[in-house]
Amino acid sequence: MSAAAAQAEGGTVTLINVFEVPECALQASINYWKLSRDFLQTQPGYVSTALHQSIAPDAKFMLVNIAVWESAEAFKAASAKMMQTAGIAPVDGLKFTPGLYTVIETD
């Protein structure tokens, strides 16, 4: 098991989700994020979230969500429940790559 995985065992994790946003779908993608946040923040283990927007208009990842959860299990349970029950309409062409992380180095 990697150091990061071991560290995550039961500890907080950081969700980093990078969004590849189709042309003209930025606001729709932000609205999609808001609906997901409104659901996820009610779920057990949720700690915080912040949606970041690129300051460059041509970035590969125009939006990046960075959220903190009390555990990997809490996040997985909440997002599975969202998929099954929240009924949030997807945005055509919006592609995201979520991952769970722990901090291994700082300054």
Residue 44 is a binding residue for its own copies (CB under 8 A): no
Mark the segment that binds its own copies (CB under 8 A) among 7-15, 77-85, 86-94: 7-15
* The two structure tokens encoding residue 79: 């997002």
Among 53, 73, 74, 94, binds its own copies (CB under 8 A): 53
Residue 24 is a binding residue for its own copies (CB under 8 A): no
* 76: Cβ contacts below 8 Å, ≥ 6 apart: none
> Please, which contacts does 33-37 make with residues 24 or more away whose CB atoms are closer than 8 Å?
33/63, 33/65, 35/86, 35/88, 36/82, 36/86, 36/88
* The two structure tokens encoding residue 77: 């349970």
Site size with its own copies, rule: CB under 8 A: 41
* Residue labelled with tokens 């291994």: 104
Residue 83 is a binding residue for its own copies (CB under 8 A): no
* Residue labelled with tokens 């980093």: 16
Closest separation in Å from C-beta 42 to its own copies: 10
Among 23, 85, 90, 105, binds its own copies (CB under 8 A): 105
CA gyration radius, the chain: 15
For its own copies, the binding residues (CB under 8 A) are 2-5, 7-8, 13-14, 16, 18, 30, 33-34, 37, 41, 48-57, 59-61, 64, 66, 72, 97, 99-107
